[in-house]
Amino acid sequence: MPDAKFRVPLQTRVTHRAAGPGRPTRVTVAVYAADPVLRVGVVQQLRQRPEVDLVDADAGAAEVSLVVVDKVDDECVALLHRLRHNNATRTGLVIGTLGAGALQRVIECGVAAVLRRIEADQDQLLHLVLAIANGEGVLPGDLLGKLLSHVGSLQRSALDPGALSLSTLTTREADMLRLVSEGLDTAEIARKTSYSERTVKNVLHEITTRLQLRNRAHAVGYALRNGLI
């Protein structure tokens, strides 16, 4: 059952349909979006394509699930995790902004393909859906480069734990430490970053534990001394 925030039922077909004589089977697609305007935009684009059969998100029967969001937040990640456990579907993300740290996060959630909303015209959306249905991955070139660089940096850090680089902190961790350095408390950081207070606490605890530091102040000092923020 999708998160209520994302649940906007579609009164459409939920079965495979042939696209016409001699045409391949249509790909069933469910669209998830917390913002109804975002959802309507994507649905209207796909509804016009004979290769696609839109289905009710609540049915959980789609070959392809498209999650449409402005940015990756806790609710988005929770939905992606639930979709990952549905072996019948593969997931694509249509997003407003996505940095390297958030990109790694959604890939860990099982996202097969990513498309920026600014590029999400009818042809690009169809390309995304068909690629996902065919078991392919889709990623903007600049994000692919960032991901490869990020993974490479993590591998180097694993081989030499004493080596310090910007990859010692993820984008999210660095952002939160910067806010700590500005004197913000947990609640204020949560509001600034749109994460829950629990997530903020967990992220900061992970930093201090992983780097073997005593507390947040120690973490900020460590990060500043080593040029991590």
- Provide CB contacts within 8 A for 8, sequence distance 6+: 32, 33, 36, 39, 57
Q: Smallest Cα–Cα separation from 29: which of 56, 2, 68, 9?
A: 56
**Higher-confidence residue: 7 or 56?**
56
What is the rounded CA–CA span in Å between residue 107 and residue 93?
A: 10
3-state secondary structure of 159: helix
pLDDT at 3: 59
Q: How many CB atoms lie within 10 A of CB 84?
A: 16
Q: Is the pLDDT of residue 94 over 90?
A: yes
Residues 100-158 pLDDT 10s: 667 777 887 888 889 999 999 999 999 999 999 998 888 876 666 655 555 555 554 55
Strands lying side by side in the sheet with 64-69: 52-54, 27-33, 64-69, 90-95, 111-116
3-state secondary structure of 57: helix
3-state secondary structure of 219: helix
> Residue range 6-11: average pLDDT?
44
Would you say 94 and 66 are in contact if contact means Cβ atoms under 8 Å apart?
A: yes
Would you say 142 and 100 are in contact if contact means Cβ atoms under 8 Å apart?
A: no
Check whether domain 171-226 has CATH 1.10.10.10, yes or no: yes
pTM: 0.57
Q: Is the pLDDT of residue 216 over 90?
A: no
Q: Is the pLDDT of residue 190 over 90?
A: yes
What is the rounded CA–CA span in Å between residue 71 and residue 214?
A: 32
Residues 64-84 pLDDT 10s: 999 999 988 888 888 998 998
pLDDT at 143: 65
**Higher-confidence residue: 28 or 224?**
28
Q: Is the pLDDT of residue 173 over 60?
A: yes
Would you say 89 and 62 are in contact if contact means Cβ atoms under 8 Å apart?
A: yes
The mean predicted confidence, pLDDT, of the chain is: 79
Structural domain boundaries in the chain: 27-144, 171-226
Which amino acid, residue 148? Answer: L
Q: Is the pLDDT of residue 162 over 80?
A: no
Options 1.10.620.20, 3.60.21.10, 3.40.50.720, 3.40.50.2300; CATH of 27-144: 3.40.50.2300
pLDDT at 130: 94
